[in-house]
Amino acid sequence: MYILAAFILLIVMAFALIRAFKGPTLYDRILAVNTFGTKTVLLIAVMNFLAGRQDFLDIAIVYALINFISVIGILRFFEYSTKLPLDEDL
């Protein structure tokens, strides 16, 4: 059961990754990064039970915190940069 959940989470992460690669606007990328981060937290929590060790949950907590901080950081640094065109020329 854990394996199924972990597998689905991996698929979800792959989807988020594709969106982060494609992302027509920058905000799509930020959203993808955020989604990716929350899914990593869940994946680690599941992996914790999969591996049978109970020590890994600290890492999941750190992920949740760091993910939040980095999303806020990206937003803050992007918001105050000069007016840029929305669509990236890739």
Partner 1 sequence: MTAIAITRMGDLFAVVMLSGIYSLLSAALFLVLDAPDVAFTEASVGAGISTLLFLATLKLVPRYDKKSRYKPGLALGVVVATGALLIYGTLDMPHFGKVDAPVHEHVAPRYLNDSLEEIGVPNFVTSVLASYRGFDTLGEVVVVFTAGIGVMSLLRISRQAKKDAKAKTPPDMQQQVILRVVAKIMIPLILIFALYVQFHGDYSPGGGFQAGVIFAAGIILYTMLFGLSTAQKVFKHKVLEILTAFGVFLYAGVGFVCLFMGGNFLDYDVLRHDPVHGQHLGILLIELGVGITVASVMILIFFKFTWRTVKHKYNQ
Partner 2 sequence: MEMLLDILSWILLASGSFFCLTGAVGLLRFPDFFTRIHATGITDTMGAGLILIGLMLQASNWIVFVKLVIILLFSLLAAATACHAIAKAALKSGLKPRTKDNREIEPEEQPSKP
Partner 3 sequence: MNVLGLYNYWIVVILMLIGFYIVIAHENLVKKLVGLAIFQTSVFFLYISIGKITGATAPIFDEKWQLYSNPLPHVLILTAIVVGIATTALGLSLVVRIQEAYGSIEENDIQIQDTQDQLECQLEAYGIQESLTTFDQDIDE
Which positions touch partner 3 (CB under 8 A)?
Answer: 51-53, 55-56
Check residue 78 and give left, alpha or beta (phi > 0: left; psi -120 to 50: alpha).
Answer: alpha
> Cα separation of 21 and 78, whole Å?
18
CB of 64 to partner 1, least distance (A): 10
Would you call 87 helix, strand, or coil by DSSP?
Answer: strand
| Residue whose CB is less far from partner 3, 28 or 58 | 58
Tell me if 16 sits within 8 A of 35, measured CB to CB: yes
Q: How far apart are CA 78 and CA 86, in angstroms?
A: 11
**CB under 5 to 8 A by kind: which of partner 1, partner 2, partner 3, none does 88 bind?**
partner 1
- Binders in 18-37 for partner 1, by CB under 8 A: 20-21, 23, 26, 29-30, 33, 36-37
- Would you give the binding string for partner 1 spanning residues 46-75, x where CB under 8 A is met? -x-----x-xx-xx-xxx-xxxxxx-xxx-
CA dist 5 and 26 (Å) reads 30
* Tokens of residue 54, six digits: 């109970």
- Residues in contact with partner 1 by the rule CB under 8 A: 17, 20-21, 23, 26, 29-30, 33, 36-37, 40, 43-44, 47, 53, 55-56, 58-59, 61-63, 65-70, 72-74, 76-81, 84, 88-90
